[in-house]
Structure 1
Amino acid sequence: MTFFLSLLPAIWPWLILIAAQVTALVGHWAVALSLLVLFASIASATGLMSLLAIAAVVGGLAGAALLPHLKGRLAVAGHALLILWCLAMGAHLLPGFQNLKVLDQVQTGAASTGFTMHLNLDKPMVFFAVLLAWPGMLQSTIQTKFGPLVAGLLLLPGLFLLGLAVGAIQPEFSVPRWWLVFVLSNLFLTCLTEEAFFRGYLQSAVISRLGAVGGVIAASLLFGLAHFGGGPALVVFASILGLACGLGYYATQRLWVPVAMHFGFNLVHLLLFTYPGPA
């Protein structure tokens, strides 16, 4: 907590962004957009976002809001553009965003490698865009399919066992002093955003065209490929994690389920194993 309080003078604008995410998640769009405008105004005034960055966000969100009203080839083209925009934001390719580095080569324990973490400004905007483009992801009325849900949940401990077997992780219990800022960043800026994009939006869109099996597999593989910067092994592990979360979302159609699975996996990894890997 002391570490978090020491960061508060620098990171408080992100608390407004997280509040905007939460209010959008529960369907209070007027409040969410008001908070998002407030956040963007503060980010602009403090130099965290340039006018070019704000223009990129406004353009992406405006285009996403139009997508549910488009039909045919125009809709296909619009969704393709949105996916490219989301990938560019998630990969930090667009200029003008000053993502704040809050952890720099810290270690959770003696056996762990150094870990660096930024509080992102660009990537969380993907969450708002895909909610606007695919609002149905928050409107589930289906009965839970317990078979796929159990299969997805079982993949999570199986992934830890695989990591131990191949030496990608080692047991190491730790509660780093920066755990709270990790929780806030990983849960909202990472897991919520990634699950909204890969499961709530992308998986749902592919399922509507190719069916459940094709949608879950495609979204899982794309989630894995999004981690290619960490090497081939990380692509494989991320694909399996994506499959687990994909099954969780397919089984329930409730976004909080894959978010909880993704975040729970990351938190267990942080607390019980070398993070992100052995030294």
Structure 2
Amino acid sequence: MTPPLVPQFGVYPAIFAYIMLLAAGIFLWTKRDIVTIIFFAVSVAAAFSAGIITLTGITAVVLLGGLCFAGFKKIDRENNFFLHLLVKGLIAGLGFMMIFHLYPGFHNLQLLNKVQISEDAVPYSLFLNYDSMCVAIIIMFFNENLRLKADRGTLMAVRAGLLFGLLGVIVMGGTGLAMHFFKFDFKISSLTLLFLFCNLLFTCFFEETFWRGYVQNTIADYVKIDFVAVLITALVFGVIHIPFGGINFAVLAALAGLIYGYAYLRYRRLESCIVCHYTVNVTHFIFATYPILASAYKV
């Protein structure tokens, strides 16, 4: 895993890079693709000057963009089945490496370092994951069906996300308590606003874009059975959480993946699964041990 950022020219160029990246994401709501490209390019340039991304990281960004262009725009699955499958697999593999910080060349800005949020929890560190956000923005840019939409369906998708989020709180909350994964711990602290902001943009947005928007959709395209795609994606989503919290965390993540996946499947809008995911995470942060009880960590 690449080390946290030590800014070369101060923290302000780094902050500017993140602001430009968020601006690129916001303009995905519009059809002004050239504006999105400009903001994204400025962000990468600023990130390079600040030491957030190196030439190796830029290579990954360009490569992912090229693969997405080929996979979404140029290669037809019906006429080039195996080539299409190969490209889609490469997108998944490279995206996975980037969101789990396995691809070198990125040095994400660290905001919190082993902070004790709950008294009997494992310490919590918070990064602004530039590499992960790049993955989400690039995939969404080339797959227009995934783009967040400012239309009449947005409010419906948000409402649905809240309802599915409530279901997730009940199911995962009950399961987590039964597994002694966490306990009730109500807290509003100086870190709450920071968490609310960062978790929405740097966790829920990119995770749902990648896992539900890309992985689940891609599997569904090939297996032709939507719920099988939801199940496979949820299982993989659970397994990859083992290093972050052990077996208990993996079980909860798989349950979460089922709920988030169905929220997306039901409405075909990323807004629904993003809001669902965010509702669960915020409830967990405010009302329960965060991130997990130290005694619950069992790999």
Work out whether the TM-score is over 0.5. Answer: yes
- In structure 2, give the amino acid aligned to 1:16: M
**Does structure 2 conserve the Cα–Cα contact (< 8 Å) formed by 1:156 and 1:244?**
no
Question: What's the CA shift for 1:139?
Answer: 8.2
What residue in structure 1 maps to residue 6 of structure 2?
none
What is the rounded CA distance, in whole Å, between the counterparts of 1:63 and 1:136 in structure 2? 17
The verdict on how the C-alpha distance between 1:53 and 1:139 changes in structure 2, with shifts beyond 3 A counting, is closer
What is the rounded CA distance, in whole Å, between the counterparts of 1:15 and 1:245 in structure 2? 28
- In structure 2, give the amino acid aligned to 1:109: S
Aligned residues between the structures: 272
Question: What's the CA shift for 1:130?
Answer: 2.0
**Does structure 2 conserve the Cα–Cα contact (< 8 Å) formed by 1:175 and 1:271?**
yes
The verdict on how the C-alpha distance between 1:38 and 1:153 changes in structure 2, with shifts beyond 3 A counting, is same
Question: What's the CA shift for 1:25?
Answer: 4.1
What residue in structure 2 maps to residue 256 of structure 1?
271
Identity rate, percent: 26
**Does structure 2 conserve the Cα–Cα contact (< 8 Å) formed by 1:127 and 1:197?**
yes
What is the rounded CA distance, in whole Å, between the counterparts of 1:163 and 1:82 in structure 2? 33
Alignment of 1:1-279 (within 5 A): 9=12, 11-68=15-72, 69-71=74-76, 72=80, 73-138=82-147, 153-210=166-223, 211-230=225-244, 231-279=246-294
Question: What's the CA shift for 1:12?
Answer: 4.0
**Does structure 2 conserve the Cα–Cα contact (< 8 Å) formed by 1:105 and 1:114?**
yes
* Equivalent position SS for 2:126: strand
TM-score norm. by structure 2 comes to: 0.83
**Does structure 2 conserve the Cα–Cα contact (< 8 Å) formed by 1:152 and 1:246?**
no
What is the rounded CA distance, in whole Å, between the counterparts of 2:191 and 2:168 in structure 1? 28
**Does structure 1 conserve the Cα–Cα contact (< 8 Å) formed by 2:165 and 2:277?**
no
Q: Which runs of 5+ in 2 are unaligned?
A: 1-9, 295-299
Question: What's the CA shift for 1:26?
Answer: 4.3
Question: What's the CA shift for 1:175?
Answer: 1.8
* Equivalent position SS for 1:160: helix
What is the rounded CA distance, in whole Å, between the counterparts of 1:133 and 1:276 in structure 2? 34
- Aligned alpha-carbon RMSD (Å): 2.6
Write out per-residue CA displacement over residues 115-149 of structure 1, whole angstroms, 9 at most, x where no aligned residue. Answer: 111111111111023224533223899x9899999
Write out per-residue CA displacement over residues 154-213 of structure 1, whole angstroms, 9 at most, x where no aligned residue. Answer: 243111111111110111111231223322221112111110111111111222222111
What is the rounded CA distance, in whole Å, between the counterparts of 1:182 and 1:149 in structure 2? 18
**Does structure 1 conserve the Cα–Cα contact (< 8 Å) formed by 2:161 and 2:275?**
no
What is the rounded CA distance, in whole Å, between the counterparts of 1:116 and 1:168 in structure 2? 19
The verdict on how the C-alpha distance between 1:188 and 1:147 changes in structure 2, with shifts beyond 3 A counting, is closer
- In structure 2, give the amino acid aligned to 1:175: I
Question: What's the CA shift for 1:234?
Answer: 1.1
Q: Which runs of 5+ in 1 are unaligned?
A: 1-6
* Equivalent position SS for 2:114: strand
What is the rounded CA distance, in whole Å, between the counterparts of 1:220 and 1:239 in structure 2? 5
